[in-house]
A and B are shown apart, each in its own frame.
Chain A
Amino acid sequence: MAQQQHDSRLNKRATTTMQVMARREEEKPQWFFIRRVPSRHLGREWTRPPDDQYARDLISEGFIAPSLVSGTLSPELTADIRELDQHLLLHFWRMNQQARFFQNRYYQYQWAFILAAFLTTALAAVNVFLYAQGWTGQAGTIVGSLQWTEVLGFLTAMVSGIAAGVSFLDANQTPQKRWYKARVQAEILRSTYFLFLARQTPFDSPNDRERVQRMRRKVIEVLRETRIAERPASADTATPAPPAEPAPKPEAAPETPTPARAARRRRTSTPPDDQ
């Protein structure tokens, strides 16, 4: 069998940097209360960073940047990347940022509930403990006539009030639903990016103008779609059609969604963490 020379055209420096970054992430402590603490400052809107940073963001998010390739890109690929950058990536970054924002907001609220429940119990227990120890009257005075039990009672009320406020916000903002929706949209856009680069259906037209037009239509369709999941799979144009030479299906490929399976999954899956 003739073996083909397969020296990669990818920039070794760029790929090594990515590997180092991945290794650094792996080396961080894995405890969820270190890695997954919700951020206090995460903007809802995406703003384009300077070009150098943007190229790094592209690569770390799994897209193609010219610096990934040693030498120059082909004119075809350069044109494709330019069109995607112009018509698709802006929307991807926007949806991606929204997904991260609402995911962070969702976890902020959930952490607040859990900590509030714990603190309410803890403060009540401390209060009872101090009372049982005889920290009342003169012995339990902090300053003036202010008693420890009064302070703890006030703190308990404060924590309960914060929990009630967060509950109201959670019920009205529905951050989890918005997170799911934005994440699905971002992932469809990401898939569309690669289908376009690979010239897969529906971007398999030999006419570049037509291909770009289809991609632009697809982006609008994804953004307009408010209930993506309700569409039958057959109507979803994001679904790539089999290539000319269909290969055997992977044996371990995910099962075809059915209502029963979807109901089962409803209890068992959440989108990947964006943090």
Chain B
Amino acid sequence: MSTQDNAAFQTPPLFSEEEARLRAQLYIQQRINMQDGFYRRRIAEFTFNSDKMLWVSAGLMGISTVISSYSVIADKAFYAFVTALLPAFAAAVSAFRSLYQWQRQATIYEDTWLALQQARLAMPDEDYLEPGDYSRYFPQLVYQTEEVLRREASQWGQMEQIGSAAGEGPPGGS
């Protein structure tokens, strides 16, 4: 038995093994799996939008170039009209990209998702748990998971704090 195991047995257990097991299962289901699913869905959505909008921007740029070149020789008002309209579309797409910041958000969520997977390791695989392991490892699981989630949440607070301290508007704002 390791030194860590000895240290754990010196502290009184917070719960009975059965109670720790139930709470651990609820915690994994409602806290960890829920956050895990949330991050995975958002990563997929943000990556999708980031990729698609990049293609849309590139398409708009290409079409604008072709039409504006053609409007020079075509001498038709319609092409000049479309040439004026396409940059407005491109600007709108660009504004939405900077509003939602899909790629950056996806990267942040990926980092947090990985950290969450790391935190899961605090509890050994359920197939190999021994009697007493739930009450031994459950507190560590909660501690590490809450640390990961707290740090992710604290980023927004820091963001607001610095924006206010510098007398500037919040990022992405008008």
Contact = CB atoms under 8 A, between A and B. Distances in A.
A116 to B, nearest CB: 10
B101 A268 contact: yes
Interface centre among A113, A188, A250, A262 (most CB of B within 10 A): A250
A183 B156 contact: yes
Interface stretch (B57-65, B66-74, B84-92): B84-92
B173 A176 contact: yes
A126 B10 CA distance: 80
Contacts of A253: 115, 118-119, 144, 147-148, 151
A110 interface: yes
Interface residues of A, number: 100
Interface string A178-199: 0011011001100100110111
A133 B100 CA distance: 39
B114 interface: yes
Interface stretch (A29-37, A82-90, A153-161): A29-37
B55 interface: no
A117 to B, nearest CB: 7
A26 interface: yes
Interface stretch (A7-15, A39-47, A49-57, A140-148): A7-15
Interface in B122-144: 122, 126-131, 133, 136-140, 142-144
B128 A177 contact: no
Nearest to B50: A32
A180 B96 contact: no
16 contacts: A1-B128, A10-B29, A110-B99, A110-B172, A121-B87, A122-B88, A125-B85, A170-B174, A191-B149, A195-B142, A199-B14, A247-B122, A262-B159, A269-B104, A271-B153, A273-B42
A266 B142 contact: no
A77 B19 contact: yes
A117 B85 contact: no
A2 B30 CA distance: 28
Interface string B13-51: 011001101110111011100110110011011001100
A200 B143 contact: yes
Nearest to B97: A32
B54 interface: no
Given A26-B44, A194-B31, 20 more contacts: A3-B127, A30-B44, A32-B49, A110-B174, A113-B95, A117-B92, A167-B174, A188-B150, A188-B153, A194-B27, A194-B142, A199-B15, A243-B139, A245-B7, A247-B122, A253-B144, A254-B112, A269-B108, A269-B155, A270-B171
A234 to B, nearest CB: 13
A233 B44 CA distance: 32
